[in-house]
């Protein structure tokens, strides 16, 4: 067991899948000997790698006597580089980080998390079989590997037994779930099985979806099943067709806009989120303008904006690059446009009652993932019905 006075520490960078895996690592460390601290790194951008290195140095300063291990995508892609850092005692590659023996922990399949949150992040898939030209993640995660339905059900059951009332399904390419399993089930089959297995589960949320993989079954679930939250986050990346081709994305701008229109026509309360990259190689002013205009066309109110940074080993890194100053300026313009759209959308929610999941920091989120400031005394983990009267600092209140 961890020695008294030495609480295990896991610092997480990057995606929700990393967050979910960090909770599992933390649970395993609780049963392991000695004092170990872990950085679960990210490699999605060059800045993410730099942040991972800064986290290593900070964690070593805070824990001078601990064994410091680095895992995650950045460490898997560049194990020699992270292993050479004087602060690092060991590097654990992604394929080994979910194994109890890696952390000298007893095997406890599907153990409940050691730290409990109001929202449970449940990984259902890792890796990716696609080849987007900007993305280094397949090098860190490998081919797509899906968790069988029975394993996902057991993990969710453990979280619900410890009080979670919202489950978020995570993965690198969640809509690619099932292709490697017997019979090649689709992601909609998994979602349907979860809803059937847990009739009392009040909220199921899905992380980033690839629109081309939303088949009719999944579309029907997203638009008709009220326990699936009305918050669809799409992996769009660009609003320009030529950029999408050079990215090797599998959709066009028109297809993305049409999907959004069909979703909202069937379920008007759906809030749309999207990933967008600013300054992809060869992007002209006109292409950037198409990116900006997609925010209104696709009704994007939750935006994850990434300034493009070249990742060595990817095809996009060998393309003609946009000046980094221009990239940053375009990213700022995209963020401002999303913020404007979001502010207008939040105003439409004023005066309408919504069920809100209370968090521990005095805020909460509705099904659409709108942020709320909670009344004093609200207990974390509760679902409360709130009717906001104003918007202040990006939160309804």
* Backbone region of residue 138 per phi and psi (left: phi > 0; alpha: psi in -120 to 50; beta: other values): alpha
The model's pLDDT over 329-353, given as tens digits with 9 standing for 90+, comes to: 999 999 999 999 999 999 999 999 9
pTM of full prediction above 0.75:
yes
Q: Residue 3 above 50 pLDDT?
A: no
Q: Is 225 a residue whose pLDDT tops 90?
A: yes
Q: Does 244 score more than 90 pLDDT?
A: yes
Largest Cα–Cα separation, the chain: 60
Domains of the chain: 9-103 (3.40.50.12160), 119-347 (3.80.30.20), 354-396 (no CATH)
Sign of the dihedral through C-alpha 263, 265, 266, 267: positive
List Cα–Cα distances, 132 to 3, 113, 126, 135, 226, in angstroms: 45, 33, 16, 6, 33
In the chain, what percentage of residues exceed pLDDT 70? 95
Residue 107 pLDDT level (bands cut at 50, 70, 90): low
pLDDT at 108: 58
* Mean pLDDT, residues 229-233: 98
Which residue has better confidence, 302 or 114?
Answer: 302
- Which candidate, 7, 40, 37, 48, places its Cα nearest to that of 21? 40
Question: With the C-alpha atoms ordered 222, 228, 232, 235, is the resulting torsion angle positive or negative?
Answer: negative
pLDDT > 90 fraction of the chain, expressed in percent and rounded:
82
- The pLDDT of residue 82 is 96
* pLDDT tens readout for residues 292-312: 999 999 999 999 999 999 998
Other beta carbons within 10 Å of 348: 10
Cα-based angle 141, 215, 227 (whole degrees, multiple of 5): 85
Per-residue pLDDT for 115 more than 50? no
pLDDT the model gives residue 79: 95
pLDDT band at 117 (very low <50, low <70, confident <90, very high): low
Residues 16-74 pLDDT 10s: 899 889 988 988 888 778 899 999 999 988 889 999 999 999 999 999 999 999 999 99
Q: Which of 7-11, 108-112, 332-336 has the lowest mean pLDDT?
A: 108-112
Averaged over 279-304, what is the pLDDT? Answer: 98
Mean pLDDT for the chain overall: 93
pLDDT at 78 over 50: yes
Q: Which pLDDT value is given to residue 28?
A: 87
Among 93-107, 159-173, 302-316, which is the least confidently predicted range?
Answer: 93-107
d(CA 136, CA 315): 10
């Amino acid at each position: 067991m961890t020695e008294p006075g030495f609480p295990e520490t896991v610092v997480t960078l990057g995606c929700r899948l990393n967050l979910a895996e960090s909770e599992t690592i933390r649970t395993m460390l609780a049963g392991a000997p000695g004092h170990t601290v872990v950085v679960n790194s990210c490699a999605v951008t060059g800045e993410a790698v730099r942040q991972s290195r800064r986290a290593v140095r900070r964690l070593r300063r805070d824990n001078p006597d601990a064994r410091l291990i680095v895992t995650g995508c950045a460490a898997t892609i560049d194990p020699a580089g992270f292993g050479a850092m004087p602060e690092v005692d060991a590097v654990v590659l992604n394929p080994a980080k979910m194994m109890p023996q890696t952390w000298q922990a007893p095997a406890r399949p599907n153990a409940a998390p050691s730290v409990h949150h109001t929202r449970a992040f449940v990984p259902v898939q890792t890796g990716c079989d696609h080849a987007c030209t900007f993305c280094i993640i397949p090098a860190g995660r490998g081919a797509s590997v899906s968790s069988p339905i029975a394993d996902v059900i057991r993990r969710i059951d453990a979280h619900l037994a410890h009080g979670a009332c919202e489950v978020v399904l995570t993965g690198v390419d969640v809509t690619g779930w099932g292709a490697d399993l017997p019979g090649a089930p689709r992601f909609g089959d998994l979602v349907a099985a979860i809803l059937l297995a847990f009739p009392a589960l009040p909220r199921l949320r899905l992380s980033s979806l690839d629109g081309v993989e939303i088949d009719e079954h999944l579309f029907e679930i997203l638009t008709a099943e009220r326990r699936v939250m009305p918050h669809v986050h799409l992996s769009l990346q660009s609003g320009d067709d030529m950029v999408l081709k050079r990215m090797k994305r599998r959709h066009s701008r028109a297809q993305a806009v049409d999907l959004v229109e069909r979703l909202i026509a069937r379920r008007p309360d759906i809030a749309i989120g999207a990933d967008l990259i600013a300054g992809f190689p060869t992007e002209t002013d006109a292409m950037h303008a198409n990116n900006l205009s997609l925010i209104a066309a696709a009704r994007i109110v939750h935006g994850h904006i990434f300034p493009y940074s070249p990742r060595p080993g990817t095809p996009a890194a060998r393309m003609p690059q946009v000046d980094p100053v221009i990239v940053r300026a375009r990213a700022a313009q995209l963020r401002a446009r999303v913020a404007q759209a979001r502010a207008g959308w939040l105003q439409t929610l004023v005066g309408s009652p919504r069920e809100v999941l209370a968090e521990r920091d005095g805020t909460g989120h509705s099904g659409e993932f709108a942020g709320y400031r909670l009344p004093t005394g609200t207990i974390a983990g509760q679902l409360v019905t709130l009717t906001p009267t104003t918007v202040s600092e990006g939160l309804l209140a």
